[in-house]
């Protein structure tokens, strides 16, 4: 249990130190994030891949209200914790070429956010979960508000109000469950054991679903996302797209499915429908985007739509695919945004039409970018394929038409990604890109690391699948058991 406490509080300590570290905050945050990664790997190595919750911490917190500091790790949590602690160092490293003003605050906020995210991903107490959920939002708000681009105040306001509005629905749901709970506590196991009727489950479903759908985001709750991704600083975008949206997906898996399975069953066609519409809709919009960052933002909506469709399909393949794809999408999208950040920092634009011919002057960047693009379009042998294949297979069990429409992402993804790649990297070098210098130093390290992850996970995904298999199976059994008992 000490390991888990250490895991959650290490970034917090790092944040405090970084806040007072002034110029050396960059180094401090790197050290702490790498230490967290090391600790995570240690935990992952000691993790027994069965369905049980391990490294459990259960300390009384606000005893009168039945609130405990209860956290633990099972296979599903392990994967997202791994994702978080893997991506945070990458994101911090990716900022090395930047000279943000007030770096102490910047890096402290990133680490603070990491702590919030870890809390979300390990919490077994609804109250704790909610605290983490909101705690993760605050730093990203400030990161976007202080270091963001054009029009950041308005866009940030929208983002904040949007997500807060969603969270409030969830809070309502949590309080309702708390009141229904005869033991009057926020224990997730007690919530699982609740016996709500179908109508109640329907309401709770929507209260939670809206919160998660906004976070992911699922069509039509997505309009905060392209603006925010475009206006946020590169690292903010990576945090948002790489890790933060996984909070929504994780929330669905951990807090929605097992608590209100009947509600999910009743409304899953709506949820899957929205997800699939989102896939086609967002992919189509990505076709004609002029700003590469916005294009990637829309593509992300499409990919997340597929993940959520796979989850609501409620079968092993879809769920496992969602787990793998969470990690893959995190890695790929961070890679994409990093490449765009590199381009932006060199030529001060992400407008697709103004770029071109970069491959000629920066071949290494071109190779790395291509691998990341291929991962994103789910080429077999890259990490994206494992996830998308399993997800589509999961969706297929809902209906062949659902899979056919969701599968359009395979075609559309290739269209907009290759179009972007062609317009940015291929063609003739123009006067803007002629002075483009190839990646070096930390950029090279980060991009090659990402590429290596893409390929390794694509060729040998077994450890990942193995990590989550038992937990996912257990979760689905729980859901099915509860479903039969309701009827």
Partner 1 sequence: MTIEQLIWLVPLLPFLGFVINGLGRKSLSKGLVGIIGSGVILASFIISVVIFFSLQGDTQKAHEVFLFDWISAGALHIPLSFLVDPLSSIMLLIITGIGFLIHLYSTSYMHDDEGFGKFFSYLNLFVFFMLLLVLGSNYIVMFIGWEGVGLCSYLLIGFWYTNSAYASAAKKAFVMNRIGDLGFLLGVFLIFNFFGSLEFSKIFPQAANMLPGNNTLVLITILLFIGACGKSAQLPLFTWLPDAMAGPTPVSALIHAATMVTAGIYMIARSSVLFDLAPLTQHIIAIVGAATALVAAIIALTQTDIKKVLAYSTVSQLGYMFLGLGVGAYTGSFFHVLTHAFFKALLFLGAGSVIHAMHHEQDMRHMGGLRSKLKTTFATMMIGTIAIAGLPPFSGFFSKDEILAHAFQASPVLWGIGVLTAFLTAFYMFRMMFLTFSGKYRGTHHAESHIHESPAAMTLPLVILAVLAAIGGAINFPHIFGGNEWLAHWLTGAGVAQHELDLSHSTELALMGTSVAAAVIALLYAYTKYVKGAHVPVADEAPRSALAKLSYNKFYLDEIYDFIITRPLDILSKFFYRIIDNKFIDGIVNGLGWGTNEASKGLRLLQSGNVGFYLFMMVFGIIALLIYTFSYIL
Element (H, E) at 207: helix 198-215
Quick one: which segment of 2-10, 15-23, 32-40, 156-164 binds partner 1 (CB under 8 A)?
Answer: 156-164
Among 9, 20, 42, 460, binds partner 1 (CB under 8 A): 460
* DSSP letters spanning 209-268: HHHHHHHTTPTTS-THHHHHHHHS-HHHHHIIIIIIHHHHHHHIIIIITTT-HHHHHHHH
Give the C-alpha separation, 345 to 338, whole Å: 10
Per CB under 8 A, which of residues 308..347 are in contact with partner 1?
315-317, 320-321
Q: Does 288 bind partner 1 (CB under 8 A)?
A: yes
Give the C-alpha separation, 241 to 297, whole Å: 8
Binding mask 161-200 vs partner 1 (x if CB under 8 A, - otherwise)? xx--------------------------------------
Quick one: which segment of 141-149, 263-271, 325-333, 413-421 binds partner 1 (CB under 8 A)?
Answer: 413-421
Element (H, E) at 59: strand 54-62
Q: Does 429 bind partner 1 (CB under 8 A)?
A: yes
Task: Output the smallest distance, CB 119 to partner 1, in A.
Answer: 29
Cβ pair 235, 97 in contact under 8 A: no
Give the C-alpha separation, 308 to 267, whole Å: 13
Q: Does 5 bind partner 1 (CB under 8 A)?
A: no
- Token duo for residue 348: 């001060």
Among 21, 390, 446, 457, binds partner 1 (CB under 8 A): 390
Among 1, 193, 400, 434, binds partner 1 (CB under 8 A): 400
Element (H, E) at 319: helix 316-347
Q: Does 411 bind partner 1 (CB under 8 A)?
A: yes
Give the C-alpha separation, 78 to 427, whole Å: 43
Give the C-alpha separation, 139 to 105, whole Å: 10
Instruction: Indicate the residue among 43 and 402 with the shorter CB distance to partner 1.
Output: 402
Among 22, 38, 60, 380, binds partner 1 (CB under 8 A): 380
From residue 296, alpha-carbon distances to 75, 293, 388, 396 in Å are 29, 5, 17, 26
Task: Output the smallest distance, CB 162 to partner 1, in A.
Answer: 7
Q: Does 223 bind partner 1 (CB under 8 A)?
A: yes
Task: Output the smallest distance, CB 118 to partner 1, in A.
Answer: 26
Give the C-alpha separation, 388 to 281, whole Å: 18
Q: Does 268 bind partner 1 (CB under 8 A)?
A: no
Among 19, 175, 194, 284, binds partner 1 (CB under 8 A): 284
Q: Which residues bind partner 1 (CB under 8 A)?
A: 158, 161-162, 220, 222-224, 281, 284-289, 315-317, 320-321, 356-357, 359-360, 374, 379-381, 385-386, 389-390, 392-393, 396-397, 400, 403-404, 407-408, 410-411, 414-415, 418-419, 422, 425-429, 460-462, 465, 469, 473
């Amino acid at each position: 249990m000490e390991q888990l406490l250490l895991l959650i509080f290490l970034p917090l300590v790092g944040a405090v130190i970084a806040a007072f570290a002034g110029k050396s905050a960059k180094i401090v945050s790197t050290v702490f994030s790498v230490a967290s990664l090391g600790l995570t790997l240690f935990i992952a190595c000691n993790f027994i891949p069965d369905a049980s919750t391990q490294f459990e911490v259960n300390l009384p917190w606000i005893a009168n209200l039945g609130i405990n500091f209860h956290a633990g790790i099972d296979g599903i949590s392990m994967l997202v914790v791994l994702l978080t602690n893997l991506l945070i160092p990458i994101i911090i490293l990716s900022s090395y070429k930047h000279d943000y003003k007030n770096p102490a605050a910047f890096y402290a906020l990133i680490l603070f956010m990491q702590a919030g995210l870890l809390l979300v991903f390990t919490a077994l107490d609804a109250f704790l979960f909610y605290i983490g959920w909101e705690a993760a939002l605050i730093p990203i708000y400030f990161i976007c508000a202080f270091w963001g681009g054009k029009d950041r105040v308005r866009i940030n306001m929208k983002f904040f109000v949007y997500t807060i509005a969603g969270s409030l629905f969830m809070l309502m749901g949590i309080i309702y469950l708390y009141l229904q709970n005869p033991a009057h506590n926020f224990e997730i196991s007690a919530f699982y054991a609740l016996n709500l009727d179908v109508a109640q489950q329907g309401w709770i479903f929507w209260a939670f679903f809206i919160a998660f759908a906004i976070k992911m985001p699922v069509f039509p709750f997505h309009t905060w996302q392209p603006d925010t991704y475009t206006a946020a600083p590169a690292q903010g975008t990576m945090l948002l797209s790489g890790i933060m949206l996984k909070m929504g997906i994780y929330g669905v898996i951990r807090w929605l499915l097992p608590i209100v399975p009947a509600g999910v069953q009743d409304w899953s066609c709506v949820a899957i429908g929205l997800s699939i519409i989102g896939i086609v809709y967002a992919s189509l919009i990505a076709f004609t985007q002029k700003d590469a960052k916005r294009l990637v933002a829309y593509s992300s909506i499409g990919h997340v739509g597929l993940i959520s469709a796979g989850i609501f399909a409620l079968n092993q393949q879809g769920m496992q695919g969602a787990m793998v794809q969470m990690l893959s999408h995190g890695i790929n999208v961070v890679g994409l945004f990093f490449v765009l950040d590199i381009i932006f920092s060199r030529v001060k634009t992400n407008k697709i039409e103004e770029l071109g011919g970069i491959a000629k002057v920066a071949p290494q960047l071109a190779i790395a970018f291509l691998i990341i693009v291929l991962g994103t379009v789910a080429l077999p042998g890259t990490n994206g394929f494992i996830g998308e294949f399993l997800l589509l297979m999961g969706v297929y069990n809902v209906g062949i038409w659902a899979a056919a429409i969701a599968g359009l992402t395979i075609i559309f993804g290739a269209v907009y990604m290759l179009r972007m790649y062609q317009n940015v990297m291929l063609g003739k070098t123009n006067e803007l890109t002629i002075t483009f210098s190839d990646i070096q130093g930390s950029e090279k390290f980060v991009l090659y690391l990402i590429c290596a992850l893409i390929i390794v996970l694509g060729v040998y995904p077994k450890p990942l699948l193995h990590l989550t298999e038992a937990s996912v199976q257990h979760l689905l059994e729980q859901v099915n058991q509860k479903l039969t008992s309701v009827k």
